Chain A
């Protein structure tokens, strides 16, 4: 060996990366199209994003938006549900629908050669869905059964309990996207059709296309299908409902569970807030990756868990900070003590070394965030939904670089609140109550 193995190799010369530029145009029906050319493979990916997520579900009808999402591809134009699905299969196209709190999303990935035909099918789904009674009844029964199934899933129970407690009853984000079983029982097919007519409009949507196609070809392909989608009255917003955070422990009883699912968190500021970059760096240090404080503490030091992390979670109209992990029941209070220790401790400041590590990690990873067609599309979607500036990704590295240690420390003081953090525990109530009795993580309430 002619070299010293103990010396970590340095990087070779710096690399350069420029994100492919994106362009934007609108159709006559006021549908905005964002386009990125990417031709390393003969693939095209297209997403239709509709401002019609579960936050718009009517009162006592929670689950409407998701049910429409399930029904909208159950037959359209001249095809019934099975025929429509077969048409996508025969094109080898990956087609999927998804509903979240803010939007309904249609995703298509095809080989270039089949793009036009697949796109025409999407046009039919948007403009001529059957939304027939029989299909509705089947999908309704499916989601009711799925919710029953999810009531066994500790992860789902913890997430939905946390949303419900954090946002409070009347908030549009406090309900599960999939809805509530007693509400779903009262939804009928007319209401699904109404929701469709009201929200599924080109001027309430946008499209992102990424792939091996020119802008002119894309425009041509959108003609005659998507371009005939008729616009309507669209000005849909939800009001922000504020509810104060209060340090409380909520126990969701799951008898015989062998673990406790833990969520700890509180409200936070929006993605557009001025200190977003400081918050991102802060969380990278606190709980954003494997080497962050929380995981190193809970997993690598104590062995309480398989993994633990924290994140700032952004919706279009609200945001929260949360810590998430699952541990053996006997370590529940030990884990909570460590989590609260870390939340308090980060407010004492981070080190220069931690900050430069976090910056390096985020900045150097940046080019790798644009590898797949899906990744490129989802970055543009985020930019539009959160209403970020046009040059957001062009300036991203520069903005991360500019953050000072003072700004990160201020962000910690302004954004991490252990004294008002709410805790959700999903596990065996009796064992948890016994363990928690001498600790002070807030008033204990048993829910569910």
Chain B
């Protein structure tokens, strides 16, 4: 599709910073998006969550931007901003009226190059409190909020970098010290470990010289080796039962699969859609619509640079058991393995995926983030068409194959059940 062929230029500064420029003059706006190639996978045991702590610390000011002013300058200019941390990377992004491009480049470069001189204990203590509260609000005090952590710590071997939660374990959050922050910054927040996307309404040559002006003299850091990851198979089926403040029981089934953009990922994504993506999907239709034994059901392939998993989540309706649900899920999986899927089902999924690609082009910040993501995983920012083609090429046989290949393996089963009353 011509629409998905996104214009861009990519080059590297002498200090190793990758730059990707994409012109798009629909609105008088620009998006600036920086990826640092560090996520929770680069953490060490005892210091989990520190990659995410940075997502907070990087807004605490740098040598020329005092605490709180980063937010203030962007919002004063009518911009919006945020950051996020995943298992593989941390991103920082802002969207501003196009005449504020230079401000955004100044702010991003100041924290890339001049973060350490402004760091102090008070800022760290404050953000440790904030992150601790974030953990309480988003995980500990949420119904089923600890499920993902329980699944990942059991699915992956205890030394696997995807075995701990991105937010970090509560005890680790309390124990970060200033040295940890300094060392983590020096190691991971160098220009040669980052890529910068500027997307939107700008003049190319002027923008290149502004990028040169603000980023070029930031010193490179050490070259980082890829982390070594051993993907061990589960040696036995694991069943975990966890009591929570909930009324309804919920079942999680999780299988190890493959990496992001790996050979089977597109087929697994489509499989998840065939199982739970719509009213007519196999599991939704049977468990939620016809038999009404589940309140909701979802399936997804979640993968990163080093590993991935396929997970199915279903909540039992009152009066129905997780065993009933589990048995129906496996009945359907076995049915797909034995009898395959229809070409109509496959067609339905593909049409939805195609529309979603076009819909995703509405947001400048989403385009900017995609360019960085494709560049990170595929080394080619303009991969929208390539990505869509991965799905278009999937055949009914491949759906059979991946069902057999992955969903026959040992898996982790997590059951979240209501707390028993203390009588």
Which residues in A have some Cβ–Cβ distance to B below 8 Å? Answer: 1, 3, 5-6, 8-17, 40-43, 81-82, 85-86, 89-94, 109-111, 138, 141-142, 145-146, 148-149, 151-154, 254-259, 289-291, 296, 299-306, 326-328, 357, 360-368, 370-374
Contacts and interface: CB of A to CB of B under 8 A. Distances in A.
A36 to B, nearest CB: 14
A141 B317 contact: yes
Contact of A299 (B130, B347, B348): B130
A418 B217 CA distance: 52
Contacts of A109: 359
A-B residue pairs, 7 tightest by C-beta = A364-B78, A303-B129, A92-B355, A365-B78, A85-B279, A9-B102, A306-B134
B241 interface: no
Given A145-B248, A149-B295, A299-B130, A41 B3 contact: yes
A86 B289 CA distance: 14
A15 B132 CA distance: 41
A305 B100 contact: no
Contact of A13 (B99, B217, B359): B99
B143 interface: yes
B407 to A, nearest CB: 24
Interface stretch (B25-33, B38-46, B264-272, B368-376): B25-33
22 contacts: A11-B103, A13-B99, A86-B279, A89-B280, A89-B348, A92-B356, A93-B355, A111-B358, A148-B248, A149-B247, A151-B247, A254-B245, A255-B245, A259-B140, A290-B75, A291-B75, A303-B126, A306-B131, A306-B136, A327-B133, A357-B76, A371-B27
A306 B97 contact: no
A382 to B, nearest CB: 19
B275 interface: no
Contact of A306 (B28, B72, B138): B138
Contact of B285 (A40, A82, A93): A82
Interface string B243-263: 001111000000000000000
B248 to A, nearest CB: 6
Contacts of B140: 258-259
B228 interface: no
A414 B64 CA distance: 40
Contacts of B358: 41-43, 111
B57 to A, nearest CB: 12
B130 to A, nearest CB: 5
Contacts of B213: 3
Contact of A86 (B73, B97, B114, B280): B280
Interface of B: 3, 26-29, 63-64, 67-68, 71-73, 75-80, 95, 97-103, 105-106, 110, 114, 125-134, 136-138, 140-143, 213, 217, 245-248, 278-280, 285, 289, 292, 295, 315, 317-318, 347-348, 351-352, 354-356, 358-359, 361-364, 419
B97 A290 contact: no
B141 A296 contact: no
B118 to A, nearest CB: 12
B317 to A, nearest CB: 6
A153 B143 contact: yes
Given A41-B358, A85-B278, A300-B68, A152 B247 contact: yes
Given A41-B361, A92-B351, A365-B97, 12 more contacts: A9-B102, A43-B362, A92-B356, A152-B246, A254-B245, A259-B136, A291-B71, A305-B130, A326-B133, A357-B72, A361-B76, A364-B79
A15 B105 CA distance: 18
Contacts of A142: 295
Given A5-B110, A303-B129, A303-B133, A111 B355 contact: yes
B413 to A, nearest CB: 21
A42 B75 CA distance: 31
Contacts of A10: 102
Nearest to A254: B245
Nearest to B246: A152
A326 B292 CA distance: 35
Given A149-B247, A256-B245, A368-B80, A306 B98 contact: no
Nearest to B216: A1
A303 B105 CA distance: 29
A363 B292 CA distance: 50
Contacts of A255: 245
Contacts of A326: 133, 136-137, 141
A255 B60 CA distance: 36
B141 A361 contact: no
B248 A328 contact: no
Given A43-B358, A89-B280, A360-B78, A11 B133 contact: no
A145 B132 CA distance: 32
Contact of B28 (A16, A111, A154, A328): A16
